[in-house]
Amino acid sequence: MVHQLFYLSSAGTNFDVVKDIKAILAKASSYNPKHNITGILLFHSGLFMQLLEGPKEEVAGLYNKIEKDPRHKNVIKVFAIDHNPRIFTNWSMAYKEVTDVDIKMVNKILSFNNLITRTEKIDNELIIQMLNEFKKHL
């Protein structure tokens, strides 16, 4: 049993994809293992999607910091649940820049466009399935 929190956000106006992603992943690789946190960070045309998984208090603590980070804005929590097995067991924080090919792949599971624009509520289970699919293609 692990707590899983998934959110969406938009990169800030001065976000530098190479430099800032590198700094975020460096931070995650030291902080996350110490706090038993794993997950995946997805990036697609200025938009982030991140899954944080681990003990509930640790996930909530990290999300609190992330939410306040000026490198992104419009942070929207999609779900925080605790009934799924850990997905990214071997990653402190996996990272993937989502391509059009990836979008075609996940559209078989859920409408990616629908997820990022949030025009309709998407079942948490479909998001979990999408993340499992990304895991296969890391």
Ligand X SMILES: Cc1cc2nc3c(=O)[nH]c(=O)nc-3n(C[C@H](O)[C@H](O)[C@H](O)COP(=O)(O)O)c2cc1C
Least CB distance to ligand X at residue 4 (A): 13
Please identify, using beta-carbon distances, which residue of 34 and 108 lies nearer to ligand X.
Answer: 34
C-alpha dihedral sign at 125, 126, 128, 133: positive
One character per residue 22-41, x = contact with ligand X (rule: CB under 6 A):
--x--xx--xx--------x
Least CB distance to ligand X at residue 7 (A): 9
Residues touching ligand X, count (CB under 6 A):
15
**Taking CB under 6 A as the rule, does residue 72 contact ligand X?**
yes
Written as one string, the DSSP assignment of the chain is -EEEEEEEEEE-TT--HHHHHHHHHHHHHHHHHHTT-EEEEEEETTEEEEEEEE-HHHHHHHHHHHHT-TTEEEEEEEEEEEEE--S-TT-SSEEEEPPHHHHHHHTTTS-HHHHHHTSS---HHHHHHHHHHHHHT-
Figure out which of the listed residues 8, 40, 49, 62 binds ligand X, where binding follows CB under 6 A: 62
Least CB distance to ligand X at residue 67 (A): 8
Figure out which of the listed residues 2, 5, 8, 93 binds ligand X, where binding follows CB under 6 A: 93
**Taking CB under 6 A as the rule, does residue 3 contact ligand X?**
no
Least CB distance to ligand X at residue 108 (A): 26
Nearest-CA neighbor of 7 among 86, 95, 115, 102? 115
Judged by the rule CB under 6 A, the positions of this chain that interact with ligand X are: 24, 27-28, 31-32, 41, 48, 50, 62, 65-66, 69, 71-72, 93
